[in-house]
Amino acid sequence: MDFTHAAAGCPPRTVGLPRPSGRNCIVAAPQEGALSRPRRRNGTETREFAVQHLHRRAAFAFGVALATASAALAQPLTGAPAQPDLRFSTPLPPGVAAPPTLETRFGTLQFLDGVPDAASTQKLFDNLDFQRAVQAYLLAIPAVSQVADRNAIRGLGPTNRVVPVFADLVDSRTVGLTFNDNTVYTWTWLDLHDGPLVIEVPPEVLGTVNDIWFRWVVDVGITGPDRGHGGKYLLLPPDHAGPVPHGYHVVHSPTFNLWIPWRIFLQEGSPEPGVERTKKLLRIYPLADAGRRPPELTFVNLSGKPFNIVNPADFSFWELLNQVVQEEPTASLDQIRLGFYQSIGIEKGKPFAPDARMKQILTEAAAVGDATARAIAYHTREPEAYYYPGSAWQKPFIGGYRFQTQPGVLNLSAYSFYYFLATGVTPAMEEKMVGRGSQYAWAARDAKGEPLDGGKSYRLHLPPKIPVRDFWSVILYSNQTRSMLQTDQRFPGLGSQSKGLEVNPDGSVDVYFGPTAPEGRQANWVQTVPGQGWNTILRLYGPLEPWFDQSWRPGEIEPLS
């Protein structure tokens, strides 16, 4: 700085720059004693002035150096935010301000005073879209499972008039989530867009009504309001505002699409009586046509036919989800789930048309979502999933049929676990109904905690007095499709209804699993396939009190040497 020529009203001059000037800047002329060349006088004066001149030159040089250093220190350091000394400022604790650089699992992010640069912004949006898509996948598994089933059934006949029935039971050719081969399955899909429908349910069935989002609406049959005697159910669409006539079990549906499955028990080992009863007594017709001759239904026997109703895990998953979103009212689902779907381009009334970037993200997210569901299912982290301490037997319903840790709190992993593995949701499959309904125990690991291996042999011991009023069964499923394990056996399971089942003298039963039957145990053997993993479900129909109070429990699946 020029310390010698500054005057009142004139800012100091920075070295190397022109001296400022203006109305309030008056530059004073050098005064006596200022830094100037010494005048020539007599010898003594000249020497004194020379010494003074040298001292002043040194002081001037020191001032310039000090000013230069101060100016340099005032500049912000590269990579660190400036900390100006302002009149109004608040010290920030750690974690509030963004750092200049952030290392993440998806790359390095760069920030300029808290704002991500262009490259980092793209990484963040790619990550955000991917995260939302994976979560959307896990939340949408139930709906996509439903619409995949519905679309397959629509291909068999006219809407509201086609009824698939497994007249000769389900076998392993059917690729569908955890079917059983102990009861006759039949179901129908109903569309209420054209108004209320009436369904006359035959007697002696065990059934339910689920909406398109795979939520329980009401039971029909043995656990429903008709108590197994059969009855007329009036199904009202979401927007119904008309009068409701008497004489029906009235069902207010939250969605236009409804799935109504039921199971029919065998009579003396035969499915035929129940099938004929269903064909004779089942009726479906519009409420407006009540009292008239109902339309003929198309019954399609699917037994023994290759048939797939398991949903995909590729880009087509999202196309199926979009079908549901477009067909159903937004009021039928919560805004959080609809918000996830909207964030990836699926919103009611708008076209689903992702660009190339988003399509790639959605395709990968579907694959990762499926892989995540498999991790949740086969390596659960839920301690309350198990029936017994140290056991491999798990509850399909963790937190009840609503999958809640407490009222109003959804257990997301339990939700994904169930709908990845199974189909159909009703309180009758998990609540305590002694002598009615059904109970399930699922296992994918042996007594040592190892995954069940199709190349190894195992034994399951069921203690005496298996607590059922109706029957029990054990069925094997593929880890890939969660459908019946495909082997040389048509039915990959056995149970109390199996012909020739050997019961031990004390009433207990031993069931054997493996690629080959143990000698003398063929009647109690279920085949497995080397190189393929498997899981199993123990079913109890009409479960009794010892199941619920756990005074009876199944053995673990023991590996055989």
User: Residue ranges per domain, the chain?
Assistant: 1-30, 31-63, 155-308, 380-559
Question: Which two tokens mark 150?
Answer: 């519905």
List the one residue out of 2, 40, 36 whose CA is nearest residue 19.
2
If you average pLDDT over residues 122-143, what whole number do you get? 98
Task: Check: CB of residue 339 under 8 Å from CB of residue 380.
Answer: no
Residue 18, pLDDT above cutoff 70? no
Task: Check: CB of residue 354 under 8 Å from CB of residue 364.
Answer: no
Q: In whole angstroms, give the CA distance from residue 295 to residue 289.
A: 10
Angstrom CA distances, 130 to 61, 133, 315, 369, stand at 63, 5, 13, 10
Q: In whole angstroms, give the CA distance from residue 215 to residue 402.
A: 8
pLDDT value at position 44? 46
Q: Band of the pLDDT at 34, cuts 50, 70, 90?
A: very low
Cα dihedral 538/540/545/546 (nearest 10): -30
Residue 444, pLDDT above cutoff 50? yes
pLDDT value at position 14? 41
Structure confidence by residue, pLDDT tens digits, 144-156: 999 999 999 999 9
Give the CA count within 13 Å in the CB-facing half-sphere of 56. Answer: 16
pLDDT value at position 81? 56
Task: Check: CB of residue 428 under 8 Å from CB of residue 471.
Answer: no
Decide whether 155-308 matches 380-559 in CATH topology.
no
Measure CA 63 to chain center: 70
β-pairing, 257-265 vs 205-211, is: antiparallel
Question: Which two tokens mark 525?
Answer: 């053997």
Report the CATH number of the 155-308 domain: 2.60.40.1610
Name the pTM for this structure: 0.84
Residue 48, pLDDT above cutoff 60? no
pLDDT value at position 7? 41
Structure confidence by residue, pLDDT tens digits, 348-374: 999 999 999 999 999 999 999 999 999
Q: In whole angstroms, give the CA distance from residue 414 to residue 419.
A: 9
Residue 513, pLDDT above cutoff 60? yes
Most distant pair of Cα atoms in the chain: their distance: 143
Instruction: Name residue 124's amino acid.
Output: L
Question: Which two tokens mark 1?
Answer: 């700085």
Alpha helices in 15-95 (DSSP H): 43-74
Residue bearing the bigger pLDDT, 132 or 24: 132
Structure confidence by residue, pLDDT tens digits, 60-104: 454 444 444 444 433 443 444 556 688 998 999 999 999 999 999
Residue 173, pLDDT above cutoff 90? yes
Pick the CATH number of 380-559 from 3.40.50.720, 1.10.10.10, 2.60.120.600, 1.10.3720.10: 2.60.120.600
pLDDT value at position 50? 45
Residue 507, pLDDT above cutoff 60? yes
Residue 503, pLDDT above cutoff 90? yes
Structure confidence by residue, pLDDT tens digits, 377-417: 999 999 899 999 999 999 999 999 999 999 999 999 999 99
